A = this chain, B = another copy of it.
Amino acid sequence: MKPIKVGLLGIGTVGGGTAAVLKRNAAEITRRAGCSIELTEVATRTISRAEGVVDSNVKVSADLESVVNNPEVDIVVELIGGTSLAKDLMLKAIDNGKHVVTANKALIATYGNEIFARAREKNVMIAFEGAVAGGVPIIKAIREALSANRIEWAAGIINGTSNFILTEMREKGASFADVLKEAQRLGYAESDPTFDIEGNDAAHKLTILSALAFGIPFQYEKAYIEGISKLDAADIKYAEELGYRIKLLGITRRTEKGIELRVHPTLIPEKRLIANVNGVMNAVLVKGDAVGATMYYGPGAGSEPTASAVVADIVDVARLLTADPQHRVPLSAFQPDMLSNDPILPIEEVVSSYYLRMQVADQAGVMAEITGILAQNSISIEALLQKEAQGGLAEIVILSHLAVEKQVNAAIAQIEALSASRGKVVKLRMESLG
């Protein structure tokens, strides 16, 4: 099958990530898409940077128009940001019959109605998963996965910078100004952080979610926007005393009178999962009449997380250009002739951490015997808890570092054979999921 050719506008943080992912995962992407996807042209103002990222067979120039006019390019990926030049280029690409992938939330929220109308006219696709919540596939969830539902509302933590600041203010009891400085030092906030901390960025994303959830035009200009810069640390503390966390939330809700579209600091009961989304992470909670509440969580920004969404969009477009409808997505996610024959590991070969609980006679030297057995079997100890048990016995709980299951089983057999040992050792596996 002929390769799909991609032209890239801009190779900054997300553009660089997109080029890197397309290159590194080329084989895995072809296994999924059924065709190869080739980056053939990059236009950027920082040519030297681009040349460090892409292969030598990729054309690199400062000529943005060249990409949107190149008849060889199937998909234009717009990652230059902003709303004037980006809009011109996108409309030109559409007029040239090219499909467009973008992560530009400001552009879609502000000019989406016009851009989509033009795209329908020219019969091209516009994909924009990266525009909301970075690597979290919330656009696909709302547009496709929840299509059975009348959506009632959506509420999201959709600005990582603000969430990082609020998390630090709560955990350290620090003021907004102090935490902002720290966030800027760590690179989580820009030198001019206005768009993030005043809620505009979240409102762009919320505008997109609202249009997709309810089937209304993009209406960014009607969003109510209130940021976190005036938030007092005292209110975070009082909220916590009352059982709440404060988050910068974008909320859109369908009511009998109309659609709510609002971004502001919001108290949320601390028992809600979304109240426990901390640091730069994003999460969107969607309430549908059939499914109830579902939540989508992950990194909302950054080079490769956002590139993950951009490349998934490229694959989605490529699938519609190359596959017959019945095979748009392969049944098993990968092309049937490209399945792998990796073996399934027997449980004895699995590497995990372990929780071991045992009862032993409370006598001198037992702990040395047990820890000796673990050491002989290459099992190192992360934590150890000794409890008094009934009838002169001691109960010992050990958490191990990573170990091979068969060695853990061998150690358990040796421990159970000790004269001080009473009964069976309880073994549970432990995963950090980090």
Is A292's CB under 8 angstroms from B285's CB? no
Measured CB to CB, the closest approach of chain B to A33, in angstroms, equals: 7
Measured CB to CB, the closest approach of chain B to A217, in angstroms, equals: 6
Is B333's CB under 8 angstroms from A212's CB? yes
Is B267's CB under 8 angstroms from A331's CB? no
Complex-state Cα separation, A17 to B310, whole angstroms? 35
Complex-state Cα separation, A331 to B94, whole angstroms? 14
Asked whether A244 and B430 contact (CB < 8 A) given A290-B305, A291-B305, A349-B258, the answer is: yes
Is B344's CB under 8 angstroms from A235's CB? no
User: Interface size (A, Cβ < 8 Å)?
Assistant: 143
* A184 lies within 8 A of chain B by Cβ: no
Q: Which of B148, B295, B325 contacts A308 (CB 8 A)?
A: B148
Q: Which of B28, B99, B116, B147 contacts A150 (CB 8 A)?
A: B28
Task: List the B side residues contacting A187 at CB < 8 Å.
Answer: none
Q: Mark contacts of A85-126 with chain B using CB atoms, 8 A cut-off: 1 yes-contact digit, 0 otherwise.
A: 000000000000001000000000000100011011001111
* A361 lies within 8 A of chain B by Cβ: no
Measured CB to CB, the closest approach of chain B to A205, in angstroms, equals: 15
Is B262's CB under 8 angstroms from A347's CB? yes
* A350 lies within 8 A of chain B by Cβ: yes
Asked whether A147 and B259 contact (CB < 8 A) given A320-B325, A331-B126, the answer is: no
* A78 lies within 8 A of chain B by Cβ: no
Asked whether A21 and B261 contact (CB < 8 A) given A215-B334, A285-B433, A334-B215, the answer is: no
Complex-state Cα separation, A347 to B263, whole angstroms? 10
Is A232's CB under 8 angstroms from B355's CB? no
Asked whether A242 and B385 contact (CB < 8 A) given A345-B255, A345-B260, the answer is: yes
Is A355's CB under 8 angstroms from B239's CB? yes
CB closest residue in chain B, given A314: B148
* A418 lies within 8 A of chain B by Cβ: no
- Interface residues of chain A, those whose CB is within 8 Å of chain B, are 17, 21, 24-25, 28-29, 31-33, 99, 112, 116-117, 119-120, 123-126, 129, 135-137, 140-150, 155, 211-217, 219, 222-224, 232, 234-235, 238-239, 241-242, 244, 246, 249, 251, 254-255, 257-262, 264-269, 272-274, 276-277, 285, 288-299, 304-305, 307-312, 314-316, 320-321, 324-334, 336, 338-347, 349-351, 353, 355, 357, 383, 385, 387, 397, 399, 426, 428-434
